[in-house]
Amino acid sequence: MRIGIMGAMTEEVDSIHSHMTNVKEFEHGDRKYYIGNINSHEVVLVFSRWGKVASAATVTSLITEFKIDHLIFTGVAGAADPSLNIGDIVVSEQLYQHDMDARPLFKKHQIPLTKITFFQADPLLKEKAHRATDGLFASLTAKIPAESLARFNIRELKCRFGTIATGDQFIYSRERTEAILADVPETVAVEMEGGAVAQVCNDYKIPFVVIRTISDKADHTSEIDFPAFINEVARHYSEHIVTGMLRL
């Protein structure tokens, strides 16, 4: 079995790459793919790039050129659920594209010609992601310096299964978040790649899961140093959750 791993940030990819052995590097479609092993599993690791088209192209290559059997996708997201805080984790229950609107030919958010709006993540991968996240949270201070946790007010962490919205828009205002929730109230997080990746995986019948670290609260009132958050927190989350999943 060959497992594809996509990271939405280069820092996440670098951290996961450090755990790989027997690594071979390939260039395809202006991307670098790393084939090797993590915890006895054969994996193919790649930076997704940002946005729906870029990430869809990347996962298509993973499936058609590198012949993966399962996909794990990790990155950051903004919260839509006000109960989520910076540093919490959302594991995809299902994903949809909040900017897909082909009305009146099709219902809002429905992918044309498919009758599908929500793409369901794989139950086994979801459970492994949740268990790996629990393991991370249980030993968080051993993996991330206390000063970094305090800097971003990371405490009383939660891991949630939920609905993730995807669109080619950076959501930076409360008003835009509220508009997304008005359409799909069960949305818990918003990002820019997962729904497109899920659509491609559905086309090719590839089991997948999307794991997102919350980097912005739903009210957008907590300003953070985003590059510092990626380097000090999010890259370590992705590293330990992905490698933890590959131990289960």
Residues annotated as catalytic are 12, 216
| Of 163, 199, 227, 241, residue with least CA distance to 5 | 241
Rounded to 5°, the CA angle 208-167-9 comes to 60
| Of 157, 152, 156, residue with least CA distance to 232 | 152
Backbone angles phi, psi at 211, to 5 degrees: -120, 125
Q: What residue spans of the chain are helical by DSSP H?
A: 10-17, 52-64, 123-138, 140-143, 146-151, 174-183, 194-204, 226-229, 235-245
